[in-house]
Structure 1
Amino acid sequence: MSKVNALLPELRFPEFVLGEAWKSKKISELGDTISGLTGKSGEDFGEGMPFVTYKQVFDNSVIDYRDCGRVKIYTNENQNTLQRGDVLFTTSSETPNEVGFASVLVEVPKEPTYLNSFCFSLRPFNLDEIQPQFSRYLFHSPIYRKAITALAQGSTRYNISKGAFLNLTLSVPNSAEQQKIASCLSSLDELITAHSQKLELLKYYKKGLMQNLFPQEGEKAPKYRFSEFVQEWKKTALAEHVDLTSGYAFQSKFFSKQGKKLITPKNFTKEGKANFDKGNTKFTTEQFDPKHLCVPDDLLLLLTDLTPSCELLGKPILLTQEDGNVLLNQRIIKVTITSNLDKRFLLQYFLTSQFHRRIKSTASGSTVRHSSNKIILDTQLIIPNEFGEQEKIASCLSSLDNLILAQRAKIEQLHLHKKGLMQVLFPKLND
């Protein structure tokens, strides 16, 4: 590991600016490693005493005991139990960037608790020297992540050795400064948690509205209706209202960092939102038929899914001005309205659980699941006779979508703010 550029972070709280420098410590000077469960078979799991799972360590910086698995521990076994302050680490992962993830026990376990066999624990010699709340951030700091990633070894799966891990050097402040840093970052985490809970409530509220504003199985009308509309809803086939344009199998040899933007299955997200995921955008220089060019306000539908639960099958995207023009790739269709059917009402229908159940139940394929144009066109739905009622429902649900998108953006900004703080509250490595 390269030497620490300075024993001070870029940003310090005023009361510590003239205080003592951070101290360089090898991890071996901070604590001992403790192994996880040994000698267990599949029959031992499912009941018994709590144990911290690999997923808990990988997913969270703090252990929540409510999420623990269960394992039988017999009286003649010599297994290590966990205690407050233990820092748990994953020993391997599929990518070097995900190895050595850490999670901390900030509270005392209420009963003997164990650790899965694919992780190990660092047990601090002194909890004043490395406090639990500070540990959760130190072992997620850029200086630590850069160092641990450099240690990862392997080809198909990456691992770290305990010896190399213990030899890593980190910079640690005194206990008072640790408390201040932990307090600052934990307050931000609490704010992120609060906004995340608000997001879940908005999503739950929209799900409930969807169930009440669209007829459920066996019903001829929805449970809730706006008072100004009294006409009955009608049953119809989607084929009476839309034309479908199939995508084209653009060749990978023409994929480029420039050219025309493609929409591919990777642009569809698992979330309930119906907007374009820009994180997986591809471009092509291949010649194309104008019929495969999609523009803002075009409604697209995904006809394939790699996920076991088929979460993405039948997902819609309504292109926006920000998305611009895109080329329609294979396994995606463009849905063009040909009747007095509101496009945004149809978009919301494509997001209903009943539509997803139909697409999933009629899908073909084993590993990769597919739907078809025929299945989409044969879909039976019940819609309002009055176009105004379609618009009112779409407007109501779209306004909630906008609130959900704004809430997601707020959470993303908070995460970026936390990332920025992590970069300046901890010392940096030389490049």
Structure 2
Amino acid sequence: MTSNSAPALRFDGFDGEWNVISLSDHATFSRGKGYSKADVGTGTYPLFLYGQLYTNYSTEIRSITTFSRMNDGSVVSTGREVLMPASDVTPTNIVRASHLKVPDVLLGGDLNVITPGDGIDPTFLALELTGGSSRAELLNNIQGAAVKHLHLDPIRNLKLVVPSVKEQHAIGELFADLDALIEQHRAKHKNLQRTKTALLQRMFPQDGTNEPELRLGGFSGAWETVSFDSLLTRVEIGTNILGSTRYHGVPLLKMGNIQRGFFDFSSFERLPDSAELSSDSLVRTGDFLFNTRNTMELVGKGATWMGESGAFAFNGNIARFTLERVDTKFFNYLYNHPRSIRDVNKCATGTTSVAAIYPRSLKSVQFQIPTIEEQHAIGEAFSNLDELIAAESRYITQLTQAKTALLQRMFV
């Protein structure tokens, strides 16, 4: 670490080099006090528990939803504390810090508590400990095997590179606002998912009924009960050519890429450049793909492919269903309705870890369908909702990536 340095990106109006300080000269250090599950909900004092740093992490903590009573030796916040978990099962979860901006909060056990003096902005310190140059040093000082521990001494002994308090504050405000924006879109994403779940319940008939509670405008009448066998005209199994992340040929859909009603492309394999594929092994727009083998919990996942025809191949653990009398976009949501998932899972055979559902065993499964016109309208409505959900997910990813990039460029 050099004694004088500056980050690659700065706000207008700030210049000059940042300086090295010893954290021990500018902060006090303590630990929170343990509270049992029996203590939670027994009083009116807000209580911060270390698990919130994992489940709802943000650079600044501005609200508390857990309450308890004051005990002997309770540690109470002033609004300047920076909190870090003292233990976890993974090192990366320990090296995260948040500024608790709320005063008069009880600080629970397993928390490292750092209270900076006037020369350090608490939010800036939380960012530095989480994503600055201090992170690598803290990771190197984590101890333990099954359970990892971060003690106060490695934090106390840190050397930090910091600008003026005014620039620290400006940096802290930027990232706090960015965290708030990310949280806002996460909440919107969650609300859209809840809306979809509620609509799936109301726009499809419930057990013992033949009409849904909620209809799109202009549609009425009972839905027809049909067997899957009456809808299915053809079943095709994908290629047996093995894929690999080392190959550069046609991308290959495997069972892990099919989720319930959508496809996951976070990782996928490709086929060899030399692979000779028949058209039957390539996915077409509107195909319904079905996962024939997986764990007992996951076998039978299915989704309608709405991507480009011929862009992906699918392997031998996946079946393609050709259907008639049913809109495949609508069928994507019908098949992934909780009742349908329940009925399909009854067809599974095997063990908890290795199970299969053979297409022929699905023939007796029954579905309820409306007219093709109403099917199309329902499919479009849910497809549009899914596009909104996916757009929010992409935006959250972009904001998170932007935060990571800014941390790298705005800290030394």
Fold match, TM over 0.5? yes
Aligned pair partner of 2:283 in 295, 306, 319: 295
Q: Distance in 2 between matches of 1:423 and 1:322?
A: 40
**In the alignment, structure 1 residue 279 sits paired with structure 2 residue 237:** no
Aligned pair partner of 1:238 in 201, 223, 228: 228
What is the Cα deviation at residue 188 of structure 1? 2.3
Partner of residue 92, structure 2: 97
- Cα distance, 1:340–1:195 mapped onto 2, change above 3 Å: same
Aligned pair partner of 2:81 in 73, 81, 86: 86
Aligned pair partner of 2:201 in 211, 226, 249: 211
Partner of residue 376, structure 2: 391
Q: Distance in 2 between matches of 1:158 and 1:24?
A: 29
Partner of residue 176, structure 2: 186
Aligned pair partner of 1:401 in 386, 395, 398: 386
| 8 Å contact from structure 1 (residues 56, 63) kept in 2 | no
**Structure 1 segments of 4 or more deviating over 6 A?**
247-251, 286-289, 304-307
- Cα distance, 1:6–1:420 mapped onto 2, change above 3 Å: farther
Task: State how 1:218-233 maps to structure 2 within 5 Å.
Answer: 218-230=208-220, 232-233=222-223
Q: Distance in 2 between matches of 1:260 and 1:152?
A: 43
- Which moves more between the two structures, 287-296 or 129-138? 287-296
Partner of residue 411, structure 2: 426
Task: State how 1:368-383 maps to structure 2 within 5 Å.
Answer: 368=353, 370=355, 372-373=357-358, 376-383=362-369
- TM-score, scaled to structure 1: 0.78
**In the alignment, structure 1 residue 68 sits paired with structure 2 residue 56:** no
Q: Distance in 1 between matches of 2:4 and 2:132?
A: 14
Task: State how 1:27-38 maps to structure 2 within 5 Å.
Answer: 27-37=23-33
CA RMSD of aligned residues (A): 3.7
Of structures 1 and 2, the one with the larger relative CO (CA 8 A, separation 6+) is 1
1:121-152 deviation line (CA, Å, top 9, x unaligned):
2232x1x3222333332233242333333434
| 8 Å contact from structure 1 (residues 95, 158) kept in 2 | yes
What is the Cα deviation at residue 25 of structure 1? 2.3
SS in 2 for 1:16: coil
1:13-71 deviation line (CA, Å, top 9, x unaligned):
222225xx323223323323322335x7x67455435543332122413346534376x
Partner of residue 20, structure 2: 24
| Partner amino acid, structure 1, of 2:223 | W
- Cα distance, 1:378–1:64 mapped onto 2, change above 3 Å: farther
What is the Cα deviation at residue 303 of structure 1? 5.5
What is the Cα deviation at residue 380 of structure 1? 1.4
Partner of residue 114, structure 1: 107
What is the Cα deviation at residue 397 of structure 1? 1.5
| Partner amino acid, structure 1, of 2:185 | H
SS in 1 for 2:333: helix
- The runs of 5 or more residues in structure 1 that have no matched partner are none
| Partner amino acid, structure 2, of 1:314 | K
| Partner amino acid, structure 2, of 1:90 | P
Q: Distance in 1 between matches of 2:404 and 2:100?
A: 22
- Cα distance, 1:87–1:329 mapped onto 2, change above 3 Å: farther
Counting aligned pairs with the same residue, the percent is 22
What is the Cα deviation at residue 184 of structure 1? 1.9
- TM-score, scaled to structure 2: 0.81
Q: Distance in 2 between matches of 1:361 and 1:345?
A: 22
Task: Give the total of aligned pairs.
Answer: 403
| Partner amino acid, structure 2, of 1:216 | Q
1:381-411 deviation line (CA, Å, top 9, x unaligned):
1101x32221121112212222222222222
| 8 Å contact from structure 1 (residues 292, 327) kept in 2 | no
Aligned pair partner of 2:48 in 4, 27, 52: 52
Aligned pair partner of 2:328 in 343, 353, 356: 343
Partner of residue 169, structure 1: 159
- Which moves more between the two structures, 46-55 or 345-354? 46-55
What is the Cα deviation at residue 230 of structure 1? 4.7
SS in 2 for 1:381: strand
| 8 Å contact from structure 2 (residues 238, 313) kept in 1 | no
- Cα distance, 1:116–1:234 mapped onto 2, change above 3 Å: same
Aligned pair partner of 1:196 in 186, 204, 208: 186
- Cα distance, 1:36–1:401 mapped onto 2, change above 3 Å: same
Q: Distance in 1 between matches of 2:67 and 2:352?
A: 29
